[in-house]
Amino acid sequence: MLNRSQAGSATLAIINVLLILALIGAGAFAWWAFQERQSYLNDFNKKLGNEVEKAKAEQKTQLEAEFAEKEKSPRKSFKGSATYGTVTFSYPKTWSGYVDQSNSNQPINGYFHPDTVPSITQSGSAQTAFALRVELVSTDYSQSIKELDSQISQGKTTAVAYVPPKMKGITNVQTGTKFDGEIKQGTSGSMVIIKVRDKTLKIYTQSPRYLSEFNEILKSLTFVP
């Protein structure tokens, strides 16, 4: 039989063992919690870094786009002869233009493109898709419209009635047609055909790349009916 002293020693030993186990358990838990926290922080910092880089890239793209738009302003203006309806429109100042107005059957034959105008005599696969083409021709309006019948019937082109924004409500302005899709064989873009006096105006872009600029140009288009 254990005396009081021995019993007390045994109890103390048990308590010490329990305390040691508790300390070991607490230490292990603390280490585990520390490792989990570090893992969380590392993962969080990585995700935060990725988000920061993504935000920087998006901001850079936005700033570059804003700069490119500002570079286009103030815009240049084209004004055709009063004899043929004073066709007028504005286009980005970063574009160049070449316009032949020497042919009475085609009083306007214009080519516009960013920076410099490529050769207009190219052919085949080397032919440039111009940012903007402007033609004032003697071909009848209805005949000009029929030239796109094939593309429309094949579903390659859509056509809607169209009047330039600045010409709405003006007396004697006849409704034209706006085509989107394949405007010529192998060429996709957007084209407006509208009657100007005894001539027909064709204004179009030969590439979807320039659609936003083209729509801005259409907003500025005017002529004397």
Residue 1 pLDDT exceeds 60: no
Domain 76-220 has CATH 3.40.50: no
> Are the C-beta atoms of 178 and 192 separated by less than 8 Å?
yes
Q: What is the mean pLDDT of residues 89-99?
A: 97
Q: Which helix (H) or strand (E) covers residue 111, if one does?
A: strand 108-114
Condensed to tens digits (0 to 9), the pLDDT of residues 142-185 reads 999 999 999 999 999 999 999 999 999 999 999 999 999 999 88
Whether the predicted model's global pTM rises above the 0.85 cut: no
Question: Helix H segments across 72-146?
Answer: 141-146
The ranges assigned to domains in the chain are: 1-71, 76-220
Would the pLDDT of 136 be above 90? yes
Distance CA(104)–CA(138), nearest Å, equals 9
Q: Measured between alpha carbons, how far is residue 11 from residues 1, 3, 24, 25, 128 in Å? A: 15, 12, 20, 21, 97
Q: How many residues does the chain have?
A: 225
Closest to 175 (Cα-Cα) out of 146, 135, 142 = 142
- pLDDT tens sequence across 36-45: 888 887 877 7
